[in-house]
Chains A and B, each alone.
Chain A
Amino acid sequence: MFIQETILNSQLGWILLACLGVFWVALGMYWGRKAKNMEGFMLAGRNVGLALGTATAMATWITSNTTMLAPQFAFELGIWGMLAYSTASFGLFLFAPLARRIRQLMPSGFTSGDFVRLRYGKPTWIIFLLISIFYSLTWLISMGMAGGILMNALAGIPYQYGMSAILLVCVLYTLFGGLYAVIGTDYIQSLIILIGIVVVGYGVVSHVGVDEVYGHVSTEQPMLVNVLLPAAVMAFFNNMLFGIGEIFHSNVWWSRAFAMRQSVGQKAYFLSGFFWFPIPIAAGFIALAAGAIGINVTSPDMVGPLIAANILGKAGAVIVFIVFFCSLASSIDSLLAATSDLITEDVYRKMINPQADEQRTRKVAAGVVVGLGIFAWLVCLPRIGTLATVLFFAGPMVGSCIWPILTGLFWKRANATGAIFGMLSGSIIGLICYFTIGWYVASLIGAAVSMSVVVIVSLLSKDQFDWKQLDESQTVKASG
């Protein structure tokens, strides 16, 4: 039986970390030269094409939580666990028509907060910002933690050092290049991730074989191939709604919808959903091989890297290290950029200093990127809980945002009362279920409660929203 030991020595780990860090920061500086103004820095000039648009949507959604949690899901919940994780791609598919509608209704919009403010007014906007910023921070922290765990699992780099290094690299290139750097690096990172997953998956299939894995699992842990494993079936729907809620509300996805050319957004999100769907299965199934190989897994969130590195040896461990670094970086940079936009645009420019000029705003945006990095670093320092615990805590809150966003974009009768009570009731009841039943039902219940409230209140209302109010360039002209 193997014991858990690092496959790369820490010296090689540090060398890889330094090379990758310098490479991404240099690319960030190179692309950052294109960001001549605030629109360039925040939205990459609103002219992103199909290839980069598809890649950035996909790469951002391939987080450490895909490459590390998908194996954990498979390890704990079996076949349903992998399929459950794949349903997170439905959020990308379903966001495709929304991306088109967002670009059409808000040609000069900057953030998801802009939409909620213009559509529902200030009280709803503030609740939405609290949920959205809280979720972004939770996600950022879960990935900072994942960075530390990964470096430690693969190369024996102490958790605190690995976590600090990856956060520093991402802060630097996001700071220099804004969304240009984020989207450009996302394209390269997505290719590395996809190729790496295929290489590792092929290695496992050729080394152990699917039939041998199945034979071992069905004998030793038959519940992992049980069609009716109740917790896993709940996780299937929970994860789907969590994914939809996250994508619908988060500025990470809205900023990309604003950044892509009008004709590109819908197509790019649709394709990214297709490309993303198989990834949790391709990355997750290797965890099922743990028993057949004889690996003793003491920490479930390390199962993926450990098995891949054990099977593929040193060269494989290098591939795994690079893939995991890319999957972390592609999401951390997006979160830093999108959350910085939300805080700069919605909090600073709209609430604190509406008269701020472009130069001042750019400085504030840069300060917010650095501040977010420092905040995430401080929270990540003590390693708290597992990745799932941290991430899914925010699930009911994002689940409760699905319907206020969806109805707000397409239904004139949707109104602020429904949105506020939908978000609050969904979040509160979902969180109660999170603590009393389990994480695997929290988003599901949060979304269901929010849907009921939003739909009932909208049906009872006689409001007829004027869509033109969402185009701020026109409303500003009219009022000026």
Chain B
Amino acid sequence: MVLYFSQNFVHVIIVGALIATAIAATALIVMFIRDAKNNEIW
């Protein structure tokens, strides 16, 4: 018997990955602003 990934699973991981990537970009900006405020960039 051959087992396949379901359409829902594929949908969730692809859309989830795009959302997670957008969150990562936002988090990096927020972290930079916080470091700048605390004079902790370098």
What is the interface of chain A, defined by CB distance below 8 A to chain B?
Answer: 34, 44-45, 47-52, 54-55, 58, 79, 82-83, 180, 187, 190-191, 194-195, 197-198, 201-202, 205, 210-211, 214-215, 218, 222, 225-228, 261, 271, 274-275, 277-279, 281-282, 285
What is the interface of chain B, defined by CB distance below 8 A to chain A?
Answer: 2-5, 7, 10-11, 13-18, 20-22, 24-25, 27-29, 31-32, 34-35, 40-42
What's the Cα separation between A279 and B18 when bound, in Å? 8
Among B2, B3, B31, the residue within 8 A (CB) of A51 is B31
Known A-B contacts A227-B3, A228-B2, A285-B14; the reply to A49 vs B21 at CB < 8 A is no
Give the residues in chain B near A261, CB-CB below 8 Å. Answer: 40
Known A-B contacts A34-B42, A285-B17; the reply to A198 vs B22 at CB < 8 A is yes
Contact A49 B11 (CB under 8 A): no
Contact B11 A275 (CB under 8 A): no
Give the residues in chain A near B17, CB-CB below 8 Å. Answer: 201, 278-279, 281-282, 285
Closest to B25 in A: A194
Known A-B contacts A51-B32, A202-B18, A281-B14; the reply to A275 vs B27 at CB < 8 A is yes
Known A-B contacts A225-B5, A227-B4, A227-B5; the reply to A282 vs B18 at CB < 8 A is yes
Interface majority SS (helix, strand, loop, mixed), chain A = helix
B33 to chain A, nearest CB (A): 8
Give the residues in chain A near B10, CB-CB below 8 Å. Answer: 79, 210, 214, 225
B22 to chain A, nearest CB (A): 5
A232 to chain B, nearest CB (A): 11
What's the Cα separation between A417 and B36 when bound, in Å? 47
30 contacts between A and B (CB under 8 A): A44-B42, A49-B35, A50-B40, A51-B35, A51-B41, A52-B32, A52-B41, A52-B42, A54-B28, A58-B24, A180-B42, A191-B25, A194-B22, A194-B24, A194-B25, A195-B25, A201-B18, A201-B21, A205-B14, A205-B18, A211-B7, A214-B7, A215-B7, A274-B24, A275-B27, A278-B17, A281-B17, A282-B14, A282-B18, A282-B20
What's the Cα separation between A280 and B3 when bound, in Å? 23
What's the Cα separation between A191 and B22 when bound, in Å? 10
Closest to B22 in A: A198
B38 to chain A, nearest CB (A): 8
Give the residues in chain B near A198, CB-CB below 8 Å. Answer: 18, 21-22, 25
Contact A55 B2 (CB under 8 A): no
Give the residues in chain A near B2, CB-CB below 8 Å. Answer: 222, 226, 228
Give the residues in chain B near A197, CB-CB below 8 Å. Answer: 21
Contact B28 A51 (CB under 8 A): yes
Closest to B24 in A: A275
Give the residues in chain A near B14, CB-CB below 8 Å. Answer: 201, 205, 210, 281-282, 285
Give the residues in chain B near A210, CB-CB below 8 Å. Answer: 10-11, 14-15
Among A50, A52, A226, the residue within 8 A (CB) of B4 is A226
Contact B35 A228 (CB under 8 A): no
A279 to chain B, nearest CB (A): 6
What's the Cα separation between A225 and B10 when bound, in Å? 9
